[in-house]
Amino acid sequence: MIGEFYDVVIDCPDPGALAEFYREVVGGRIADSDGDWSTLVTANGRRLSFQRVEDYSPPRWPGQDHPQQIHLDVMVADLDVAEPLVLALGATLLKGSPKNVGFRVYADPAGHPFCLLTS
């Protein structure tokens, strides 16, 4: 095991409003909200976060002209230890990924983005 599942992050135009919507649907509390990011934590500790995306284009169902916009966050103890392990599994460090801010962005072997982060 390289890390621990931590969060599911959903792109959206208004993180606070979408967090409140899901709080009403599944309960819990909004633990973090700054206008560009909101995190909902459920009673059993599951996290669902929402990040602001400028010029957001919602997914369309069915079809892939506007695919679903979601990524996983994986909590690790040390980014420098975890990075070569996920790269060896077939991940790719994405161009422009920050190096010294507590998280890094990768693509899985099928091209889906995911983040490794530290607490």
pLDDT at 4: 94
pLDDT at 116: 94
Token pair belonging to 92? 């790719």
Token pair belonging to 76? 């690790």
Q: What's the CA gap between 9 and 114, in Å, rounded? A: 9
Token pair belonging to 91? 């991940």
Q: pLDDT tens for residues 14-59?
A: 999 999 999 998 999 999 999 999 999 999 999 999 999 999 988 8
SS3 of 51-108: the string is EECCCCCCCCCCCCCCCCCEEEEEECCCHHHHHHHHHHCCCEECCCCCCCCCEEEEEC
* Predicted TM-score (pTM) of this structure: 0.81
Of the CA atoms within 13 Å of residue 109, those in its CB half-sphere come to: 5
**Section 68-97 average pLDDT:** 92
Q: pLDDT tens for residues 56-76?
A: 988 876 777 877 788 899 999
pLDDT at 20: 95
Type of residue found at 69: Q
Residues forming CATH 3.10.180.10 domain(s) in the chain: 4-75
pLDDT at 60: 78
Say which CATH class 4-75 falls into.
Answer: alpha beta
Q: Does residue 13 register a pLDDT over 80? A: yes
